Chain A
């Protein structure tokens, strides 16, 4: 069991371009960190650096206090699930899962015991693991990849967009299962994704990356409500970024409020900040409803409500906000 993984000033250059730019981070054992970012921001590169598939241009990686920066991937004892699973097509699922144990020269009966145990844990039947990967569905392949990455009890589990190739329903299911497994085995995990829902629902910590830089690492709840930059605010879901003077809370800077924090109808009257506005659009999304609204000052707002509104488009309504739920984005304080 390890205590900590630490990245120190990690930089990776690819043809003069900094794919990963001076990232420092430390993660305690048993925690689930999700690195969130748009495609091409360098998040997969970070994972590959940790896994040892790439070597950093600058900086170091520590597991506990051991420097593993120049250790080859086969000596790091880190399990990784690749985006396309990277299963060995010529081996049965059982052989795939047993592969890391074979490499460690484990006795056959012990190997078999471990393979069976881990298969059961990830929810694969005996019949399924006797098949070739090509005979398994996407979800089953995902489970095989996960079992293969966990069977040798690695220090650290790396997940590279593990759910990107699956359909929505399966994704939600597997997402929960990955979290359950992670808690059950208590393995330190780093996942990479571009899906903010996945990140928020699964993690102990979220790190947001853009253009090779790690912008912020924080608790999901804090990073969702009180992001440190406009980019982070936008990347974690629908939001309203509005000049702060509109709410009379500051002369400069940007204020941030999530659409679900804005009230309409009767609830609006209880709030300590009210405004009138015209509805410009209503999008019904099943569980909830997104309303586009233009205030009399011409500011566009997005509002998320549980129930579809009873008023049509172009009607004027009153909206209310609890002034405490507005967050001033600190990034812009620099400009003051």
Chain B
């Protein structure tokens, strides 16, 4: 009996840590989301139970936030994957020295707080930012380009934060492919494009799936980009949580949005898998 329990004893520390740091807060969040919003002072009315918050989210404003967040996350993750994969392939072809330079460029921003990066981007992209000022000085444009305080600004900021991770992950995925396999494909009559389409890309699919899932999950929670470089009309769930919790002081509503965000992330994690399941089946037959 004791012997049978041995393996379980060893996972108790890990399990209790996960319970303490993930499941307990999640449970508490769900509980708070079922409380009534405060009237006057306080953050919530204790010992109440209602689905009022969930109902109120499905008004037009709530739905638009949900849609905005989902589309924004898909956009950022898809574009990041596209650029990241491109960079990763490029890095494979570079000489060792240039590759190290690329690694430094990718990793250096990650040693700096994302907040500072976003402020930096604001200075860069603003209507009197470096980009616009130099373009005007060069007489290429007369009116400053709209690069910040809109959808494009938020997109650039979030992509800037996501691409390094995606690139590094896909780079290691590409490195793990045996070069001899690619040579073999060429020798069997495949052009460079066919090698990519038939061999490199399908072999990367497991890695692409994971990194796409990760980047969707991150970007469903995107906060800094939309807050500092976006505009209020395309706010995201995370911004709304901040707004509800710290600006209005409506904790049950903030918790409700938190629960919804968790649920949406769970749903979206299936998307890359579903996309590629079809491809994998098609390929292996």
Contacts and interface: CB of A to CB of B under 8 A. Distances in A.
Interface of A: 51-53, 72-74, 76-80, 82, 84, 86-92, 95, 99-100, 102-104, 132, 148-149, 152
B168 interface: no
A152 B189 CA distance: 10
A51 B191 CA distance: 15
A52 B187 contact: yes
B202 interface: yes
A80 B183 CA distance: 10
Contacts of A102: 198
B175 interface: no
Given A88-B181, A99-B198, A74 B283 contact: no
B183 A90 contact: no
Contacts of B189: 74, 77, 100, 103-104, 152
Nearest to B202: A90
A91 B284 CA distance: 5
Given A53-B186, A72-B186, A103-B194, A86 B284 contact: no
Secondary structure call for the A interface: loop
Contact of A74 (B178, B181, B187): B187
Interface in B162-190: 178, 180-181, 183-190
Interface residues of B, number: 22
Contacts of B280: 90
Contacts of A52: 186-187
Interface in B89-124: none
Contact of B180 (A82, A132, A149, A152): A82
B203 interface: yes
Contacts of A77: 189
A86 B181 contact: yes
B187 A132 contact: no
A79 B187 contact: yes
B285 interface: yes
15 contacts: A53-B183, A73-B187, A74-B190, A79-B188, A80-B184, A80-B187, A82-B183, A88-B184, A89-B203, A90-B283, A90-B284, A91-B283, A91-B284, A102-B198, A104-B189
A81 B181 CA distance: 11
Nearest to A160: B180
B203 A74 contact: no
A16 B280 CA distance: 45
Contacts of A84: 178, 180
Contact of B188 (A89, A90, A103): A103
Contacts of B188: 74, 79, 99-100, 103, 148-149, 152
Nearest to B177: A89
A88 B185 contact: yes
B114 to A, nearest CB: 36
B203 A90 contact: yes
B30 interface: no
Which 8 A-B residue pairs are closest in the complex by CB-CB distance?
A: A103-B189, A86-B184, A100-B188, A86-B180, A73-B186, A73-B187, A86-B181, A90-B202
A51 B187 CA distance: 7
A143 to B, nearest CB: 15
Contacts of B178: 84, 86
Contacts of A149: 188
B199 interface: yes
Contact of A73 (B181, B183, B194, B203): B183
Contacts of A82: 180, 183-184
A102 B284 CA distance: 14
Nearest to B181: A86
Nearest to A100: B188
A99 B203 CA distance: 15
B85 to A, nearest CB: 17
B186 A88 contact: no
A103 B184 CA distance: 13
Contacts of B194: 103
Contacts of A148: 188
A332 B199 CA distance: 53
A100 B195 CA distance: 12
Contacts of A90: 202-203, 205, 280, 283-284
A74 B191 contact: yes
A108 to B, nearest CB: 12
